[in-house]
Amino acid sequence: MFLRLQAFERPGSLVEALRLLARPGHRPLAGGTAAVGPVDSETVGMVDLSGLGLAFSRMEADGLVLGAMTTLGDLLRLPELLLLGGGVLGEAVERTGPPSLLARATLGGSLARPDLAPELVTALLALDAYVRVVRLDASGQQLLRKEQEIESYLSDRKPGTLIEAVRIPVRAALAGYERVARTPRDLPAVAVVVTMEHDEGFMHNVRVAACGLAPAPIRLRAAEELLEDAAPLEAVIENAADAVEATVTPPSDLRGSGEYRRHLARVLTRRAVAAAAERLGRM
């Protein structure tokens, strides 16, 4: 796989890193648990991102900002994580792998390879997270920054960009998290994360996200539209679950057929919404 590898670079700035990655056959390396980009016979250089100063966490006016090189293990040590959707982000991080992997895997690398951390990315979708990406301007001298929704980033990952940070708005959200996997440590066939706020007994700012139904985690907007500003009644929740089953077309693989996953999407959406709504009823 690395027969043509000629260079291992460790840039000290984002500008330098992007210039190196613009060279043919140069691939980024984040935590090193997996390749961020394709590593093939054309790979001649690896660009180590660990020297960019992107392992940080700080609370800003518009939310918790996490640097792209923050390891998943470090995320679990952040007390702020307990504020995010009733702890669903922390639970999703723990589901990503054993402690040895969490000590190396990074937040940015997990977003760049959502197939390896699908529940983490699903939780970020449900928490209305944003990704900050950087690229070089036409002169190759200055950085251009853009912040976009995670869903937008996943559907349109542009070459020549790097993830700088993730911003997660901090809000008083209630959450439900349901999954089905062959074993507790396996990647899920389907997982659903729901977050919502309450407004005098009604569901508000509802987010429903899932993995296992498409190549990357997705928002289930048909369910969100039915649940938004509705009372958490059993019939409303059933209608939202039915809408999910009617609108998804999951793939088939070793973890389950497309038909089985459609069924799981309905069942897990109903359970996750009901779990969040039950907390709403206790407030």
pLDDT (tens digit, 9 = 90+) per residue, 26-72?
888 888 777 665 566 678 888 999 999 999 999 998 899 999 999 99
pLDDT at 283 over 50: no
Q: What would the pLDDT profile of 229-247 be if each residue is shown by its tens digit?
A: 999 899 999 999 999 999 9
Q: How many domains does the chain have?
A: 3
How many CB atoms are located within 10 Å of the residue 40 CB? 12
Q: What is the DSSP string of 108-132?
A: HHHHH-TTTSHHHHHHHHHTT-EEE
pLDDT at 3 over 60: no
Q: Residue 1: inside a domain, yes or no?
A: no
Q: 128 and 39 in one domain? A: no
CATH number for 195: 3.30.390.50
Percentage of the chain exceeding pLDDT 70: 95
Q: 273 and 178 in one domain? A: yes
Q: Which pair of tokens denotes residue 273?
A: 């919404």
Q: How far apart are the first and last CA of the chain?
A: 56
Q: Residue 199: inside a domain, yes or no?
A: yes
Q: What would the pLDDT profile of 141-165 be if each residue is shown by its tens digit?
A: 899 999 999 999 998 877 789 999 9
Q: What is the pTM of this model?
A: 0.92
To which H or E segment does residue 202 belong?
strand 202-211
Q: What would the pLDDT profile of 184-195 be if each residue is shown by its tens digit?
A: 888 999 999 999
Q: Which pair of tokens denotes residue 48?
A: 């180590």
CA distances from 124 to 17, 23, 85, 259 (A): 26, 32, 10, 26
Q: What is the DSSP string of 240-264?
A: HHHHHHHH-----BTTB-HHHHHHH
Range of 25's domain?
A: 7-47
